[in-house]
Amino acid sequence: MDVNIGPYNIEVVIVPKKNKNIYFRIKEDLKLYVTCHFLVSKKEILNLIKANEKSIIKMYETMLKTKEYENEFYYLGDKYEIVFDEKVKKVEINGTNIYVKNEKMLDKFWKEECSRIFSRRVLDLKILFDDLPPFTLKIRTMKSRWGVCNRANNTVTLNSELLKKDLSLLDYVIIHELCHFKHPNHSAAFWQEVGKHYPYYKLARKRLKEV
């Protein structure tokens, strides 16, 4: 069913379960998923949607903003317009335009830049530490984390989406993960270690939460 919530007409999907509580969630398809007990009536659900209208609108607008950001091309903190041209032999950045032959060329450029830039920054930053074990850098797309340090197999994994951010934020994530080799949790000692190498980590964390 479709429901008018503030200025938006949103499709509502009811997910019946045996749980006692009711949960609202806006997913990537921009639908409102209502998880509730199967005995809860549609009228009750509509009343609850109305009572939680402000929160739902906020969730919806946050997801809208996220999707808009994902559909735009950002590279190292700057936004570019993609220009497809069959005559292009190699990727060229000129002003606010990026010229590519096709999506395949763009994807190849993205992967190569992730590998080149992330590897270079890791090499530059790891010299700040004197007690790091030998480790392997991995790069992949992750939904909910910017980086992962796996002490069991000595790997650091960076989210390829970091290529959209400026280098200072990439540096923060790298330092954050390298500090985990010394402190496996997010204790006060861990943040003290992060602050020693990246004093403005609180600002970086805030910026990474922004779309």
User: Do residue 116 and residue 33 come from a single domain?
Assistant: no
Averaged over 56-78, what is the pLDDT?
84
The whole-number pLDDT of residue 38 equals 82
User: Do residue 58 and residue 119 come from a single domain?
Assistant: no
Closest CA to 5 of 42, 58, 80: 58
User: Do residue 192 and residue 127 come from a single domain?
Assistant: yes
Domain membership flag for residue 203: yes
Domain membership flag for residue 140: yes
User: Do residue 58 and residue 113 come from a single domain?
Assistant: no
User: Do residue 107 and residue 187 come from a single domain?
Assistant: yes
Neighbours of 192 (CB within 10 A): 11
User: Do residue 182 and residue 126 come from a single domain?
Assistant: yes
The whole-number pLDDT of residue 62 equals 86
Higher pLDDT, 111 or 210: 111
Domain membership flag for residue 98: no
User: Do residue 61 and residue 111 come from a single domain?
Assistant: no
Phi first, then psi: what are they for 52, rounded to 5°? -110, 25
Q: Read out DSSP for 143-197?
A: SS-SEEEETTTTEEEEEGGGGGS-HHHHHHHHHHHHHTTT-SS--HHHHHHHHHH
Count structural domains, the chain.
2
Q: What is the pLDDT of residues 109-122, one digit of tens each?
A: 999 999 999 999 99
User: Do residue 114 and residue 37 come from a single domain?
Assistant: no
Phi first, then psi: what are they for 30, rounded to 5°? 65, 25
Domain membership flag for residue 76: no
Domain membership flag for residue 154: yes
Residue 72 has pLDDT above 80, yes or no: no
User: Do residue 32 and residue 122 come from a single domain?
Assistant: no
The whole-number pLDDT of residue 143 equals 86
User: Do residue 134 and residue 203 come from a single domain?
Assistant: yes
Alpha-helical segments (H) within 87-139: 103-126
Residue ending a domain, choose from 68, 85, 115:
68
Residue ending a domain, choose from 68, 86, 118:
68
Q: What is the pLDDT of residues 75-102, one digit of tens each?
A: 999 989 889 999 999 999 999 999 999 9
Residue ending a domain, choose from 43, 68, 93:
68
Domain membership flag for residue 82: no
User: Do residue 60 and residue 115 come from a single domain?
Assistant: no
Residue 73 has pLDDT above 80, yes or no: yes
The whole-number pLDDT of residue 87 equals 92
Distance (Å, whole) CA 30 – CA 10: 7
Residue 22's domain comprises 2-68
- Cα 174–Cα 109–Cα 74 angle in degrees, nearest 5: 65
Scanning the structure block, which residue is given the tokens 């919530």? Answer: 5
pTM here is 0.72
Helix (H, G, I), strand (E, B) or coil at 6: coil
Of 20-24, 51-55, 67-71, 175-179, which range is least confident?
67-71
pLDDT confidence tier of residue 65, bands split at 50, 70 and 90:
confident
Helix (H, G, I), strand (E, B) or coil at 79: strand
Domain membership flag for residue 187: yes
Q: What is the pLDDT of residues 13-50, one digit of tens each?
A: 999 888 888 899 999 889 999 998 888 888 998 998 99
Scanning the structure block, which residue is given the tokens 């009536």? Answer: 41
Q: What is the pLDDT of residues 130-184, one digit of tens each?
A: 989 999 999 999 988 999 999 999 999 999 999 999 999 999 999 999 999 999 9
Q: What CATH number is attached to the domain comprising 155?
A: 3.30.2010.10
Distance (Å, whole) CA 49 – CA 3: 9
Domain membership flag for residue 81: no
Q: Which tokens belong to 74?
A: 């950002």
